[in-house]
Structure 1
């Protein structure tokens, strides 16, 4: 038995139907609902290739409006940037604690200076991954 053929499909809403395209095969099918898109893509591909349905494995991308997709992507990028900024802030906090402790300040003094608990200062001082 051979591994199923890996194919990609895209789906775009068109009136009451979803148009399902399999670019590698230059074929198009239709689906009534989102849940029907992957089975429709697999069926169209299998028919085109003249193989059983089990011999195709579909990866489907569903599209909405370009504007909605652009907004979604912008949000994803902003989240990535926010994670990077949070990591940098955590790194700076650990460095501030390390510097304060190296300068001889006790846990309670560092905690009071930074407005956190002594336990939090211990976490930051002990664990480089603490944020």
Structure 2
């Protein structure tokens, strides 16, 4: 009987602890938000983020459209200015002569550069030859001094 009583008392203690744990969990569930409330809160936050994203996209789209309109207007204005410019035959002939003169100058400059490159190569070859001669003379002088 005493053993059964002790076992029952032990069982009552463990059940008391379990009751305390369950009451604490129940209190936490009562005080804290439900899963539905948490999910609804997350949903509302996500909806706000989506709205912000749509606002940003709309602003960027509007900016791009306005920029495209501005560029189109500038292009049209530039085309009108170019069309308004008149180029008479005398100006065209003068520009053609200047273009030919520039092409002639470029050709002459290239020829001069090629001449200078050839002179540099010749000078380099001459210097190399003279250096060899100096080395040979120096060796001969050295041998002569030894003799």
Q: What TM-score bracket applies, with the shorter chain setting the length? A: 0.3 to 0.5
Please tell me whether Structure 1 or Structure 2 has the larger radius of gyration of its CA atoms. Answer: 2
For normalisation by structure 1, the TM-score amounts to: 0.33
In terms of fraction of residues, the more helix-rich structure is: 2
TM-score, with structure 2 as normaliser: 0.30
> Quick check: which one's strand share is greater?
1
